[in-house]
Amino acid sequence: MKIAIVGTGYVGLVSGTCFAEMGTDVFCVDVNEEKIANLNKGILPIYEPGLEEMVLRNKEAGRLHFVTDLSSCLNEVEVVFSAVGTPPDEDGSADLRYVLEVARTVGRYMEKHLLIVTKSTVPVGTARKVRQVIQEELDKRHSSLTFDVASNPEFLKEGAAIKDFMSPDRIVVGVESDRARELMTRLYRPFLLNNFRVIFMDVPSAEMTKYAANAMLATRISFMNDIANLCEIVGADVNMVRKGIGSDIRIGHRFLYPGCGYGGSCFPKDVKALIKTASKHGYPMRILQAVEEVNESQKSILFRKLQQHIGDLQGKRIAIWGLAFKPETDDMREAPSLVVIRKLLEAGCQVVAFDPEAMDEARRRLGNEIDYAKDMYDAVVDAEALLLLTEWKVFRLPSWAAIHKLMARPLVIDGRNIYDMVEMQEYGFEYYCIGR
């Protein structure tokens, strides 16, 4: 089968490559000419474990093509996936400009029946808008061509995207016709040979499922952050509380880690967009408003702890480990590190940072506002404090004896609760974390 995937970002590039890995012929389309030129040279725009070799292998095998113009491949394919960005609008709702632009191009240039699948995260009702835009373009051409629309929200996690796509927990597909259902079944069957975990449903429910999933995960994080903050006040240890509640099978252990707030390209914007969708329908999402409020405050918690223990921060050299919004990615969209760095700079600190993969991205975003260390030990030289923001594996068991000698003041604030409190004290550190 031949398919096109429009938008060659995290979702489009990973999905396209994984479909190609299963033998599908895939055209990855992006309007960003530099991105496509680089991909044609084998240079990837993102860091994602395992992706580079898979892209190169499938490109080499002639199953993965990178093009800038959807119209050039539109009539070779049976299915067009739209995986373009849906950034927040000024008011927080999802900006559908790119999704509808893809629909317009499809309507303008299609010459045969097509299935158009929205993979981007979009509010309920978007498939209807996509259908309308395509139909308007067909009407302009006096064309009687038919087409199907479907919704297939993506649940991959950056940092584990290949694994998530190749062996998904489930695949959600919203369809309106048997023809669309049959095509989607053919496309996904190779991923689920011994247990076909595609959940077919109506299109609005599929669109809603993605937002509900992200909103639930964000809620768990903010809930645990609130519990952690209270633990500190009343003298409880949130790690113990987490274990205690996680072992209840109704609750489960995952996504119960307190920290310095959630970030990334999805949770913040999707929570905002869902609140907005609800308010447009006159319904206030009270829980999600609180989830957002807790998260905003939590992003500054390391800064507040630092201020509490150091006092005046003017001129202080502060080391940061971890810039990406989570490990195994170089993505810094909405990362808590950006909020902390901004606050440190405003307070007159000299910030020196290290991240195993996000240094280029940080340079692009922060330029010469901060110093960039050559490794994690270089970052702590003469620092008055070390803040851990992203729990990369390389940060989990550092040589504390060496770090103690390098720092000007042995103060560590652990935003991800990954170090042992007693051990840190034994090494002679002033050690603070979240909720303990």
Ligand X SMILES: NC(=O)c1ccc[n+]([C@@H]2O[C@H](COP(=O)([O-])OP(=O)(O)OC[C@H]3O[C@@H](n4cnc5c(N)ncnc54)[C@H](O)[C@@H]3O)[C@@H](O)[C@H]2O)c1
Shortest distance (Å) from residue 166 CB to ligand X:
15
Q: What is the DSSP letter of 432?
A: E
**CA gap 234, 193 in Å, rounded:** 51
110 vs 241, beta carbon nearer ligand X: 110
> In which element (H, E) is residue 385 found?
strand 385-388
Nearest-CB residue for ligand X: 9
Helix (H/G/I), strand (E/B), else coil: 126: helix
Contact 121, 102 (CB under 8 A): no
Q: Determine the 3-state secondary structure of 131 from DSSP.
A: helix
Selection from 219, 240, 252, 268 nearest residue 94 by Cα:
268
Nearest to ligand X of 31, 394 (CB atom) = 31
Q: Answer yes or no: are the C-beta atoms of 338 and 374 closer than 8 Å.
A: no
User: Is residue 322 within 8 Å of residue 348, measured between CB atoms?
Assistant: no
Is 18 known to be catalytic? no
Inter-helix orientation angle 51-60/10-21, to 10° = 50
Find tokens 């689920």 and name the residue: 192
CB of 104 to ligand X, least distance (A): 9
User: How deeply is 307 buried, as exposed, middle or buried, from its count of CB atoms within 10 A (0-12, 13-18, 19+)?
Assistant: middle
CB 261 to ligand X: min, Å:
17
Nearer to ligand X, 110 or 383 (CB): 110
The catalytically annotated residue of 18, 260, 266, 433 is 266
Nearer to ligand X, 102 or 172 (CB): 102
Which residues bind to ligand X, rule: CB under 6 A?
A: 6-12, 29-32, 35, 83-86, 98, 101-102, 120-121, 154, 156, 158, 265-266
Q: What is the largest CA-CA distance in the chain?
A: 78
Q: Using the minimum distance from each CB to ligand X, give the nearer residue, 335 or 383.
A: 335
Smallest separation, CB 37 to ligand X (Å): 13
Nearer to ligand X, 5 or 403 (CB): 5
Smallest separation, CB 60 to ligand X (Å): 23
Contact 148, 180 (CB under 8 A): yes
Specify the amino acid at residue 169: D
Nearest distance, CB of residue 189 and ligand X, angstroms: 22
C-beta of 28 vs 260, nearer to ligand X: 28
Q: What is the DSSP string of 54-90?
A: HHHHHHHTT-EEEES-GGGTGGG-SEEEE-----B-T
Q: Which two tokens stand for residue 423?
A: 């051990």
Burial (CB < 10 A; 0-12, 13-18, 19+), residue 330, is: buried
Residue with the two structure tokens 């978007």: 126
Q: How far is the CB of 154 from ligand X (least distance, A)?
A: 4
Chain centroid to CA 319 = 25
Catalytic positions are 266
